[in-house]
Amino acid sequence: MQIITIDGPVASGKSTIARALAHSLGFYYLYSGLWYRALAYVWLREHTVAQMNDADVMHWMAQATLQGVAYSVDADGADHMRLDGVDITSELHTATVDEAASRLSTFMPVRAWINNKMHQLAHERNIVADGRDMGSDVFPHASLKIFLTADMSVRAERWRGKQRKQGNIYTLEQACERIKERDDRDAGRALAPLRIPADAHVIYNNGNDPHAVVQELRKLFTL
């Protein structure tokens, strides 16, 4: 089975590229960040972000009925997250869930639970997996590892555009601040921090042509 990993910072365009690459190769697309987002969403139903601490998160993981969290990919490549059968995908990209997911991802039981899911979903499938630690930690033996990034101004505009679609208006400066904060947390945490795997290809996704990047990655895959 073949595994391609695409890691990178916030708003580097990972999901767009990974989804398109998976679709073009006929591979299964595994969006690990959507799992962190889904668990953050479940957490936020009964808690606040400020209430996250080791003891409470551990207790919650032991008690929470997370069996109802289910990921699927449609025939057209669109990924969905459901909670007890209800599609919650569109609720998972708010700025609140962004922050909660980034914070929740620093807790060991959460990472262990999600990593286990990742391995189950990857079993006997060709996959493209995107996230922060897919190549460094979760699938260290991947056939191809990509680290996708882009300039801060490009990432900030992408993030702003996504937020604008949801009716949230941020200045460029505010977007840069939000992104910087999440980058620092994702790269500075003790557990599986965002880093460039030693054997990864670093690709810049500064343009507006995902197709060109997908072609570049396809070439690397067939080398």
Q: Does 131 bind ligand DC (CB under 6 A)?
A: yes
Choice between 69 and 219, CB closer to ligand DC: 69
Q: Does 33 bind ligand DC (CB under 6 A)?
A: yes
SS3 for 191?
coil
Helix (H) or strand (E) segment spanning residue 79:
strand 79-83
SS3 for 74?
coil
Radius of gyration, CA atoms only, the chain:
17
- Minimum Å gap between C-beta 105 and ligand DC is 3
Name which of 88, 138, 136, 114 is nearest 35 in CA terms: 114
Residues 6+ apart with CB under 8 A from 57: 104, 107, 109, 110
Write the DSSP string, 147-186.
EEE--HHHHHHHHHHHHHHTT----HHHHHHHHHHHHHHH
Binding residue count for ligand DC, defined by CB under 6 A:
14
Q: Does 10 bind ligand DC (CB under 6 A)?
A: yes
- Minimum Å gap between C-beta 81 and ligand DC is 11
Helix (H) or strand (E) segment spanning residue 73:
strand 69-73
- Minimum Å gap between C-beta 222 and ligand DC is 26
Q: Does 79 bind ligand DC (CB under 6 A)?
A: no
Encoded one letter per residue, x for contact with ligand DC by CB under 6 A and - for no contact, window 134-173 reads: x---------------------------------------
The residue from 20, 39, 182, 197 that contacts ligand DC (CB under 6 A) is: 182
Show contacts with ligand DC in window 96-125 (CB under 6 A). 101-102, 105
Query: Where on the chain is the footprint of ligand DC (CB under 6 A)?
Result: 10, 32-33, 36-37, 101-102, 105, 131-134, 182, 186
